[in-house]
Structure formats: C-alpha cells, structure tokens
Amino acid sequence: MLELPEVEVLRKELEKEVVGKKVKEVTVQTPAIVRPFHRNRPEFVKALEERKIEAARRRGRTLFLDLDADLTWVIDPGENGSLHRETAKQAAADDTHLVVSFTIGGALHVSDASDEPDVHTGVVATASALEAAGIPPDALDPLDDNPTWMEFARFLHEADRPLKLLLIDQSLIVGLGPVYSDEILWEAGLRHDHPSAKLSSQEVRRLYRAMQEVIVAAMKAAGSSLDEHEAESAIDDDGEVAEHLKVYGRAGLPCPRCRRPITRTRIKKGIYTFHCAQCMI
C-alpha cells in the first residue's frame, strides 16, 4: 500500500538510479496499464523508447519522470504497484506488467501482485502531465507545498469536512490514504469526525505538526523501495503491521499513549478508521 512517504522515497531512488539514462527497450506485459494514456501498447513503446530521463518528480502518489523533447513518463503505482531495479537480463516475474531497460545496462520492472492491477503508466506532454494524470491543480501536497500553519488553517476552514474524509480526499489533499491519515490524526490527538472548520488554533498547529512528523518518520522507515527488499509497508506478507505505525491495523491492541484498546470504526462504505476513543478528541 503506497502512500506519499513511500512514493517520495521511491522518487529519490529513481533520481539517483535512472536520471541521465536513456531508454533502450520497453516491454508491456499487460496492455491495460497504458490505456488511460494510450490507444495501445505500440503507441506507448514508441513514445518511451530512445528517450533520455532528465528528472524525477512526484505529486501525491504519482511519479513523473521528465524526458527529453518536453515529454514526461507518468507512473501511477495505484494501491499495490511497485518498482524494482533489475539487471537487463532478469526475466519478468508473473506479477510484472512493464519492463524498461536502459542503454547502459539495468532495467526497471513495474509490478502489481493484485488480481486486478491498478498501476497505470504513459508518456504525455510535460506541460499537461498533471492534468493527464488526473491530479487537481489546487490540491495540497503536504510534503512539496509546505504551507505555513496559518495557510493550513485557512485551507481547513474552507474545506469544512470531517478530518478523516478530508485527509483522504485526493481532490483536496494528494498522497495520503487510509494508513497515514489515521497515523496523523492519532499523533495530533484529533478524532476522525472532528470538523476541519471548527479546529482551534492550537488544534490546527497540532495537526500541522503531526502531518509533517508522521510523513518524515514514515519516509525514514520506508528504506529503499528499489532494492531487492521492498519498502516497509503498512502490512507485510504475513499480515503483520509495520513497527512504525501506532494505530493503523492495530484494533484491540493498547494505544501507545493511554493504553486503552484501539478501535476500528466504519465511517462509510469501504472507509474505516483506526483510532483511540480515549485520547483522541
């Protein structure tokens, strides 16, 4: 489950590993991953092959690898996508949907082990990359935009939403999801249903500080997302919750702050929150 912290770690690794390299060969195993951007596989392959990668950017959970000729390679990993650094001769695994090799050696494998992969990728004009990726121009990126707490207070007041729903609304805040929205609210000591327009100045500052601290801590826990070992995600293959998470996935376990049991609450269809009823107000 990739959210903003893991994707930012991935962006930094891509900046180090692939910027400056020229694409040699592109193999698309699953046509559906390019369809949001292209009519077919050959169109995507033609657009990406022989292009040089000049920069690695991120907005929310979407990666943007800027190419020469004013083009950008967009990679939206979805909920379960991942990128792997491999040798040029490494065979694609069963869950690999895209293989991109480089002229000076090495390759990137884009994978998604879910039954219905939601990773998407394409090459678009750089000037319209955000629009092509479906990212609202006014949505807040908590890491890149870095507003002052007073600007953040105005944003919260104008949004006027329950905090959990606000934090995961990609039209308002890009990059956060079920995991770190819960972690941020716990760190700030604020309930998921607290109206954003009714926060006191002190509560705004707590939320503002918690957002920055949780994201930075999660980035440190993520490690390298391109190495053979995956970044430490929220839930590992054995169903265990990552150690750096305080409440997400820990229903019934003691709250790290007050030792009362953590609760899992259904907010609406498909949306749940992990919280402490005792110390979150």
Please give the model's pTM, rounded to 2 decimal places. 0.90
Question: pLDDT tens digits, residue range 119-157?
Answer: 999 999 999 999 999 999 999 999 999 899 999 999 999
Instruction: Express as a percent the part of the chain with pLDDT over 70.
Output: 93
Question: pLDDT tens digits, residue range 3-58?
Answer: 999 999 999 999 999 999 999 999 999 999 999 999 999 999 999 999 999 999 99
Assess whether 173 and 270 both reside in one domain: yes
Assess whether 96 and 156 both reside in one domain: no
Looking at residue 240, its pLDDT comes to: 53
Assess whether 18 and 125 both reside in one domain: yes
Assess whether 97 and 191 both reside in one domain: no
How many domains does the structure of the chain reveal? 2
Answer yes or no: is 42 within a domain: yes
Assess whether 102 and 161 both reside in one domain: no
Specify the CATH number for the domain of residue 86: 3.20.190.10
Q: Band the pLDDT of 239: cuts 50, 70, 90.
A: very low
Residue-by-residue DSSP string for the chain: ---HHHHHHHHHHHHHHTTT-BEEEEEES-GGGGTTT-SSHHHHHHHHTTPBEEEEEEETTEEEEEESTTEEEEEE-TTTEEEEEE-TTPPPPTTEEEEEEETTS-EEEEEE-SSS---EEEEEEGGGHHHHTT--TT-B-TTTT---HHHHHHHHHHH--BHHHHHT-TTTBSS--HHHHHHHHHHHT--TT-BGGG--HHHHHHHHHHHHHHHHHHHHHH--SSSSSPP--SB-TTSPBPTT-SSTT-TTSBPTTT-PBPEEEEEETTEEEEE-TTT--
Residue 229 has pLDDT above 80, yes or no: no
The secondary structure element, H or E, covering residue 219 is: helix 201-222
Assess whether 54 and 163 both reside in one domain: no
Answer yes or no: is 127 within a domain: yes
Answer yes or no: is 143 within a domain: no
Question: Residues 57, 63: contact at Cβ < 8 Å?
Answer: yes
The boundaries of the domain holding residue 239 are: 149-275
Tokens of 229: 């070992």
Residue 241 has pLDDT above 70, yes or no: no
Assess whether 23 and 126 both reside in one domain: yes
Looking at residue 231, its pLDDT comes to: 39
Specify the CATH number for the domain of residue 264: 1.10.8.50
Show which of 78, 98, 132 is a domain's final residue.
Answer: 132
Assess whether 211 and 106 both reside in one domain: no
Q: Band the pLDDT of 224: cuts 50, 70, 90.
A: low
